[in-house]
Amino acid sequence: MPAWLNDAVFYEIYPQSFYDSNGDGIGDINGIREKLDYILSLGCNALWINPCYDSPFRDGGYDVRDYYKVAPRYGTNEDLYGLFEDAHRKGMHILLDLVPGHTSEEHPWFAESSKAEPNAYSGRYIWTDFWIKSIPGHPYIGGETPRNGTYMLNFFKCQPALNYGWRSPSESWQCGTDHPDALATREALKDIICFWLDRGADGFRVDMADSLVKGDDEDKSSTCEIWRDIRAMLDRDYPGAALVSEWSNPRLALNNAGFHMDFYLDHWYNGYHSLLRRVEDGIDRSYFRKDADSDIQLFLQDYLPKYRETREHGYISFITCNHDTPRLAPRLSDRELQLAYATLFTLPGIPFLYYGDEIAMRYQEKLPTKEGGYTRTGSRTPMQWDEGPNLGFSTAPADRLYLPVDASPDAPTAASATGRDSLLELIRSVLTLRHHEPDLQADGDFSILHAASGDPLFVYSRGRRILAVNPSGKVRTAAIPGLKAGAVPALLIGSADVSDSQLTLGPQSFIVT
């Protein structure tokens, strides 16, 4: 396990929306370089950058045309190498986004694979052996290439699925995971990984990590075997490199596949969803909503078994949001966000802060889709830096921006969000404390001290520290054995009274004692 992960806090950057350094209306690599000190000032010492490779951008860059080349809109490979160097000088680490399951239909591999004549890339993608043959259970395309066959898609029409084999081949056109074609795809993926690690990347966030092997791989054991093979390569040749999976199944991703981290994503049935986005019959019952009066039980019932079964193998990563998920503002108030982020940043594992969430950037409703974003587009708008033109994102005319900035007269910005009680300053305080307190970092011990059905008060310990959150609008009290009166809080939001073996927390309050 890379030692640097224990104290890591990540900042996710959607590069086209972060900062435009050259005035063309689109964020770029050099824009990220210019803002490293800002990111570090938040307490984030690591970055995850969404795909910055050459692409037709029909799915925001997740349709890769060249894994080895930075998209010209973002700059050059040399700019990215410079970003690695700048970050490392500041003690920061950078993960790139790895898209292993599919490419763009414009990738040279696919151009070769589409030819009628057999060649070295004929088996790089999943093809049937006849031009109208279907692929049951999977989307597919026919009639667009010289090849006599249809090809499988992973997501959009522009994203043909790469061939890692089938768990149990049942058709003549399917191959097993140990077939030379499937192994060639795996080795090509390793080559991409090594290329960027050799040039300064510190690892990868892996898109759709569970989607490699097709067929009856419901338990994902064959897909896990591929990732274990890649993890073995990293442990041998790049022991400081890290992988985080878009899987949201830590038992498989961490225990079986060998990932270092796995995202706890917003799936409607899970514990993370119950904290922040639990809307039922039009009523928001999310735990951190002041008026929801919900308890922490739904979260713990889902999270605790996952945490206990995986803590020896890797880390569960909480997110504030991401490029695929609606932002929490304006649905949650600043105080509700403060309580939520203070809790997420002090639970075990490695947290990820989505750009702009530190200033409560708002989800923008009703934007036209951009580069395959659809309903996700509203979470991908430009970062809001100051009150200048385009809120400081770019000097380009407003009609040339990648997406419009928030037009509200009270749009939050980084420059205006620095008051003592602001969300931004709260995040800085929490993350400063986390970096100074090993008990609050990824590996610190974790225990539940109070979590009662019908009671919103949640009290937990991280090593010697006792933490509590009361998201409700009423005073809440709990008996906490061993709690001592007179302790000065290391962090306090709202109000609290600490007496011997009893904790009273005011409405919408959080404490670290």
pLDDT of residue 419: 83
pLDDT of residue 418: 84
pTM for the whole structure: 0.97
pLDDT of residue 248: 97
pLDDT of residue 486: 82
* Whether residue 7 is found in the same domain as residue 67: yes
* Whether residue 28 is found in the same domain as residue 17: yes
pLDDT of residue 246: 98
* Whether residue 74 is found in the same domain as residue 223: yes
* Whether residue 391 is found in the same domain as residue 292: yes
DSSP 278-326: -EETTEE--TT-TTT---SHHHHHHHHHHHHHHTTT-EEEEBS--TTS-
* Whether residue 329 is found in the same domain as residue 412: yes
d(CA 346, CA 352): 12
Number of domains in the chain: 3
The boundaries of the domain holding residue 476 are: 445-512
* Whether residue 258 is found in the same domain as residue 318: yes
* Whether residue 274 is found in the same domain as residue 134: no
pLDDT of residue 482: 84
Burial of 177 (0-12, 13-18, 19+ CB in 10 A): buried
Burial of 357 (0-12, 13-18, 19+ CB in 10 A): buried
Q: What is the pLDDT along the chain (513 residues), one digit of tens a residue?
A: 999 999 999 999 999 999 999 999 999 999 999 999 999 999 999 999 999 999 999 999 999 999 999 999 999 999 999 999 999 999 999 999 999 999 999 999 999 999 999 999 999 999 999 999 999 999 999 999 999 999 999 999 999 999 999 999 999 999 999 999 999 999 999 999 999 999 999 999 999 999 999 988 999 999 999 999 999 999 999 999 999 999 999 999 999 999 999 999 999 989 999 999 999 888 999 999 999 989 999 999 999 999 999 999 999 999 999 999 999 999 999 999 999 999 999 999 999 999 999 999 999 999 999 999 999 999 999 999 999 999 999 999 999 999 999 999 999 999 999 888 899 999 999 999 999 999 999 999 999 999 999 999 999 999 999 999 999 999 999 999 989 888 889 999 999 999 999 999 999 999 999
Q: Dihedrals φ, ψ of 432, to 5°? A: -60, -45
In a domain, 172, yes or no: no
In a domain, 166, yes or no: no
Reduced to 3 states (helix: H, G, I; strand: E, B; else coil), residue 505 is strand
Looking at this protein, which amino acid is placed at residue 248?
S
* Whether residue 26 is found in the same domain as residue 91: yes
How many angstroms separate the first and last alpha carbons of the chain?
Answer: 30
pLDDT of residue 282: 87
* Whether residue 334 is found in the same domain as residue 378: yes
Q: Could you tell me the CATH number of the domain that includes residue 333?
A: 3.20.20.80
* Whether residue 500 is found in the same domain as residue 460: yes
* Whether residue 225 is found in the same domain as residue 291: yes
